[in-house]
Amino acid sequence: MKPVDYDLVVLGAGPVGLALAAALARERLRVALVDRAPVVTLDRGAVDGEDWDARVYAISPGSAEFLHSLGAWQRLPAARLAPIEAMDVRGDAGGRIEFTAYELGERALSWIVEHRELVGALSEAVRTCEAIDVVAPAEPAAIVWRDDGAEIGLAGGRALSTRLVVGADGLRSWVRTQAGITREPRSYDQTAIVANFATEHPHRGFAFQWFLAERGVLAWLPLPGRRISIVWSAPDALARELSALDAQALASRVADAGGAPLGELRSITPAAAFPLSFLKLPSVVAHRLALAGDAAHGVHPLAGQGVNLGFGDAAALAGVLGTRGPVADAGAAILLERYARRRALPVLAMQTLTDGLVRLFDLPALKVLRNGGMRAVGSVGPLRRLLAQPALR
């Protein structure tokens, strides 16, 4: 069977892969989107108003603009979005920094969006693009690299020929392995416990984050109404303990850990657990290959920037290929080098910040220094605003 020919094949139909496919199709490129699972649009009529996805994202204003340009943001129902209008970050010995959207000139610091809703909106945007062939469910079996492109073999005998392979298939990327990039993610020895709760008192658009001595990092994120989503990046032993609690006991534990600023909590979703890892690669490109999202970099969730970095990758790669001029070959080395250069500094800055904070709060001897630093930064408006700007865009 003769392979079908594409400019690009994107492997991985998570939020970043979907956004990337939609962005590339707008640049007059023929794209195939491949995933092991079906890519289905969300039947919102079947979603119960009290049914909330425990997995959420904090979408920055810059990412929201990008998603709007793809026709996805406007497909999200307003009733399922919650703006973070202020953030209260506390250290483990009196350190504190507060940010507000008002002082930064933004409507929101970020927007909390459920995974289900975001994937549904992006899937709808992809389905409307005639230049995208959705090849899913399909099991990729092998990649044969050539000088002028690559051929991706699928289980069952089908093959796709492409100028460029884009790996957007997650932290344990199959594509990365096929390209011979064998660097393994480094475990933080922490697990993210995520769950949603109803609150006794309104959150008023506030997000909270606590660095807890020897207990990791706890974040409370606003959902619509009197509801919050939590991410507790806990040491593995504590995470196992939290996962074993019943709903009422977990709600009490989460409320107590944060000092109960919203009163009593009541569980509205089961808890889920995700192991946390750090990944830094020598390069996010190789011969006929570009990596994006978690396949390209792994960051700690304490700043909520993982998916935003991925959307930055998607926007950058689409921008490079959209302004490629006379270079017709989407997989040309000169274009891949431009993409790598464009993403190097933003990714390095976010990885340095998040990994540095995790390590800083893991050292008991530096408790006074780190909390004093938080108080100093929190008291100087320009410094606070300077710290917040990279996350906004």
Q: What is the pTM of this model?
A: 0.92
Distance between CA 108 and CA 118 in Å, rounded?
18
Looking at the chain, the whole-number percentage of residues with pLDDT higher than 70 is 89
Q: Does domain 84-111+188-276+363-392 correspond to CATH entry 3.30.9.10?
A: yes
Task: Give domain 4-41+123-185+277-360's CATH architecture.
Answer: 3-Layer(bba) Sandwich (3.50)
At 369 the three-state DSSP class reads helix
Residues of the chain with CATH 3.50.50.60: 4-41+123-185+277-360
Report the 10 Å Cβ neighbour count for 131: 16
User: Which residues of the chain are in CATH 3.30.9.10 domains?
Assistant: 84-111+188-276+363-392
Q: Residue 155's pLDDT is what?
A: 94
Give the tens place of pLDDT for each residue, 238-264. Answer: 999 999 999 999 999 999 999 999 999
Q: What is the dihedral of CA 369, 381, 201, 196, to 10 degrees?
A: -70
Report the half-sphere exposure of 198 (CA within 13 A, side-chain side). Answer: 8
Q: Which two tokens stand for residue 168?
A: 């957007």
Question: 82: which strand partners?
Answer: 112
Summarize pLDDT for 3-23 with one digit per residue, the tens. 879 999 999 999 999 999 999
In whole angstroms, give the CA distance from residue 250 to residue 267: 8
- 152-211 pLDDT, tens digit per residue, is 999 989 999 999 999 999 999 999 999 999 899 999 999 999 999 999 999 999 999 998
Asked whether the beta carbons of 296 and 351 are under 8 A apart, the reply is: no
- Report percent pLDDT > 90 for the chain: 75
What average pLDDT does the segment 332-347 reach? 97
End-to-end Cα distance, the chain: 45
Q: What is the pLDDT of residue 380?
A: 46
| Residues contacting 65, CB < 8 A, separation 6+ | none
Angle between helices 333-360 and 381-392 (to 10 degrees): 130
